[in-house]
Amino acid sequence: MILLIFGLIVLVDIIGGSFSLRLISTILENQIGSRALKVSQTVALIPQIREDLEKADLANSRIQQIAERIRIETGAQFVVVGDRQGRRYSHPVPDRLGKFMVGGDNEMALVHGQSYVSKATGTLGPSIRGKVPVFSDAGEIIGIVSVGYLLENIDTIIRGYHIKILSVLTAVILFGIPEEKDALGRG
């Protein structure tokens, strides 16, 4: 009977723990995606960003300075602003300015004018990104903003929560192990 109860405790622990771990991972990824999208939407509305994209003069653009300041303040790994063709006006690695964005996930913003969250691999690695089109005053798509958080950093945060949950689950199992004298009724 004792082994049956202990087995039940372990089974419930494993099922509950697995569900909790997956739930926390999903919630954190959704929250980070939402944060990336909100930052992207804010950047896309900055008048200087819109003006410089309309001028199409990368050499005299203020976009890099604005985007880097926002990247540092928000803790994002990147705030990339690109023109209608996806050519970068900002990037945390200045050597990549003027080169085209990678990841293959710009079409919904640049062609269809939609805002969204995606997972893709860019020059900095796999990331969760918020993608938003930049519109001119006339309502035409003139560029894109992509704000992202690297998956390796997100996985580190998630691992921290997993360790806490696994510690609690281990404690539950250990407390569920009956002491031998209690099991035999010899208090």
Structure confidence by residue, pLDDT tens digits, 103-137: 888 999 999 999 999 988 877 888 899 999 999 99
| β-pair type (78-83, 116-122) | unpaired
Question: Quick one: what percent of the chain has pLDDT higher than 90?
Answer: 54
Name 115's Cβ contacts closer than 8 Å, sequence gap at least 6. Answer: 37, 40, 41, 109, 130, 131, 132, 133
**Long-range pairs for 85-92 at CB < 8 Å and ≥24 separation?**
86/110, 86/144, 87/58, 89/52, 89/53, 89/58, 89/61, 89/63, 89/64, 89/143, 90/63, 90/64, 90/66, 91/64, 91/123, 92/68, 92/124
DSSP at 127: E
Q: Is the pLDDT of residue 139 over 70?
A: yes
pLDDT band, residue 181 (cuts 50/70/90): very low
Q: For 40-94, how does the pLDDT look when each residue is reduced to its tens digit (9 = 90+)?
A: 999 999 999 999 999 988 888 899 999 999 999 999 999 999 999 999 999 999 9
| pLDDT at position 50 | 95
Q: What is the pLDDT of residue 176?
A: 61
pTM, to two decimals? 0.76
CA–CA distance, 53 with 116 (Å, rounded to integer): 21
Q: How confident is the model at residue 15 (pLDDT cuts 50, 70, 90)?
A: confident
Look at residue 24 in the predicted model and tell me its pLDDT: 83
Listing DSSP states for 143-162 in one string gives: EEEEEEEEHHHHHHHHHHHH
Q: Please tell me the predicted confidence (pLDDT) of residue 75.
A: 92
